[in-house]
Amino acid sequence: MIMEGFEGDEVKKVVTIKAREDFSFKIEKVDSNLGEKIKTTLKTLKENTLYELEIIKPASVNENFIGVVTLTTNFEKKKTLSLQLRGTVKSDARVTPSLINFGNIDTTKGEIPENLLKRIAIVEKFKGEGLQIKTIKFNTDLPKSQVEMLTEGKRYKITVTLDKQNLKKGKFDDEMIIETNYEKNPLFKVKLVGNIL
C-alpha cells in the first residue's frame, strides 16, 4: 500500500479485513516496525468477521518510509497478517527537469537554429500560493534566462538560451541556480550539459 502526500500533509488510508463466510477470527493486536511514522486504529465492524484498519501518516512526518503493519489473530492457520506500507512525501514546490541536456550543437554549418540553443524548465508550487522567483544565476556566461509567469504565485516557465557569442568548442557543464522565496528550500538547481562541435 502506498501512502503519498506533500510535506506537512496528514495522509489517511483505510483497509477492510473480512473473514470468509466459513471462518471467523479475532484480531488481537496491531504492530508496526515504523514507530511514530504511522498511527493505527482498529475498528470492529462485525464481531469475528469484519474489521477496519485506519492507518495515518501524521503531518509532522516529512520523510519517505517503507515498513510493515502486522495483525495478530486468534486463527490457528493464519496467526499473522502482514500489510506492506510505502510512504512517499513530496515537496510542495519543485523545478523540472533537474537536468537540461543541449546535446551536440554543430557550429560548423553556419547559422545555428534557435531551437538548438533553447530549453525550458518549470518551477511550480503545488500547495498554497505566493511563490516568487528572486534571481537566476549560472556559473558561466554561456547560458541566459528569461522568466515567464504562467500562474501567479504558483507556476513559472524559465527559458534557458545559450549565448551564441560565448559558444566555445568542447563539452560544457553548468548549473542554473534559482533563488525563490520558498522557505523550506529557497534554492532550486538545474544541471546544464552539452557539447559544442
> Are residues 77 and 114 both part of a single domain?
no
Name which of 136, 139, 137 is nearest 173 in CA terms.
139
Question: Does residue 61 sit in helix, strand or coil?
Answer: coil
Question: CATH number for the domain including 70?
Answer: 2.60.40.10
> Are residues 130 and 142 both part of a single domain?
yes
| pLDDT over 90 at 52, yes or no | yes
Give 165's DSSP letter.
Answer: G
Chosen domain end from 47, 74, 90: 90
Percentage, residues of the chain above pLDDT 70 = 99
Question: What is the reported pLDDT for 14?
Answer: 95
Instruction: Give the number of domains in the chain.
Output: 2
With cut-offs at 50, 70 and 90, classify the pLDDT of residue 192.
very high
> Are residues 130 and 173 both part of a single domain?
yes
**Domain range spanning residue 134?**
93-196
The tens digit of pLDDT for each residue in 77-124 reads 788 989 999 999 888 889 999 999 999 888 887 788 888 899 999 999
> Are residues 129 and 64 both part of a single domain?
no
H-run or E-run covering 64 = none
Q: Are strands 99-105 and 187-196 parallel, antiparallel or unpaired?
A: parallel
Question: What is the reported pLDDT for 35?
Answer: 92
pTM of this structure: 0.67
Q: Is residue 140 within 8 Å of 161, Cβ to Cβ? A: no
> Are residues 26 and 105 both part of a single domain?
no
| pLDDT over 80 at 20, yes or no | no
> Are residues 57 and 143 both part of a single domain?
no
13-21: average pLDDT:
86
> Are residues 79 and 143 both part of a single domain?
no
Give the residue with greater pLDDT, 160 vs 49. Answer: 160
> Are residues 47 and 121 both part of a single domain?
no
> Are residues 63 and 129 both part of a single domain?
no
The tens digit of pLDDT for each residue in 116-153 reads 899 999 999 988 788 999 999 999 999 999 999 999 99
> Are residues 109 and 69 both part of a single domain?
no
> Are residues 117 and 166 both part of a single domain?
yes
Question: What is the reported pLDDT for 130?
Answer: 87
Chosen domain end from 61, 90, 119: 90
> Are residues 172 and 192 both part of a single domain?
yes
